[in-house]
Amino acid sequence: MEKDIIKNSKKIVIKIGSSTITSEDGTIDKKFLENLAGQVKTLVDMGKKIVIVSSGARIAGVGTLGKWSRKEDIHYKQALCAIGQVELMDSYRKIFSNHGLHVGQLLLTKEDFSHKARTLNIRNTLFTLLDEGVVPIINENDTVCVEEIKIGDNDMLAAYTTVLWGGDLLIMLSDIEGIYTKNPQNNDDAKLIELIDNIEELENSISLDGKSSFGTGGITTKILAAKEVSRYGTNAIVAKGKKENIILRLLKGEEKATLFLSP
Ligand code: ADP
């Protein structure tokens, strides 16, 4: 099913989770970025427009300035993101340019999405970048966001971006093949749910006190992000980002993932 959905989608947002963009040693995974750039190039050559929402600034900051890694103070966290964001974009710029792709950076906050003039400006910038063949790379602007006013995770940032841009498809690349019936980390009998066409039904099986074996943290926000875009008739996919050529393989029907089919 993913095959036809990706094939027919012209405007695709790809969200990259922290665990996907990071290597085991805590630095930016250049091999992954290299593979991502190749896939984006193929999709662009097929006539698709691609927007990337990327996490990883804080981790990249820690990699550069290890001495701050254990400081929990919010100012240190924000400072780490400021340093890491440059590292992150530097990696994107270098690696994407090897594939003939230019990148542009957009740092957004929650407020930007509820402010009419700002949403218009964001949309205009996105359209202009894309018209000129540049790949926009979006992240939350951590410098101006304290915990209380954060969108909080890039799954929702990616969902808001998809809605604002009018994307046809949101692909969330994670460290897992998709949504399972239980958390596969501690349940051997967990099964991959390949198709979700009723998100409410799925949500009912997640307990809000977090004790359910269904899902926690990252997977819950992916379901919420899929729910947000589905309200606008947009489909979403959760797939394992580190699998080589994952998007292209899904396009050939060679891999499994979870598809959220909008009504
Ligand atoms: P990312 O960094 O890609 O945004 P997270 O690490 O936050 O993703 O979330 C993915 C993790 O959620 C998986 O590695 C898995 O351990 C956990 N998880 C919990 N419940 C589920 C579930 N029902 N299906 C899939 N993954 C689950």
Q: What is the pLDDT of residues 18-66, one digit of tens each?
A: 889 999 888 899 999 999 999 999 999 999 999 999 998 888 888 777 7
Share of the chain above pLDDT 90, in %: 67
Tell whether pTM > 0.85: yes
Is the CB of 215 within 6 Å of ligand 1? yes
- Does the pLDDT of residue 206 top 70, yes or no? no
User: Probe ligand 1: pick from 32, 175, 188, 193, max atoms within 8 Å of CB?
Assistant: 175
Is the CB of 54 within 6 Å of ligand 1? no
Burial 19-52 (b: 16+ CB within 10 A, else e): bbbbeeeebbbeebbebbbbbbbebbeeebbbbb
Q: Quick: pLDDT tens for 233-251.
A: 999 999 999 999 999 999 9
Please, are residues 247 and 43 in contact by the beta-carbon 8 Å criterion? yes
The structural domains of the chain, with segments of one domain joined by +, span: 2-260
Question: For ligand 1, atom 4, which residue shows the shortest CA distance?
Answer: 17
Over residues 14-21, the mean pLDDT reads 93
- Does the pLDDT of residue 209 top 50, yes or no? no
- Does the pLDDT of residue 252 top 80, yes or no? yes
User: Probe ligand 1: pick from 32, 174, 189, max atoms within 8 Å of CB?
Assistant: 174
Q: How far is ligand 1, taken at its centre, from the CA of residue 239, in Å? A: 11
Identify the pLDDT of residue 54.
Answer: 96
Identify the pLDDT of residue 192.
Answer: 93
At the fourth CATH level, which superfamily is domain 2-260? Acetylglutamate kinase-like (3.40.1160.10)
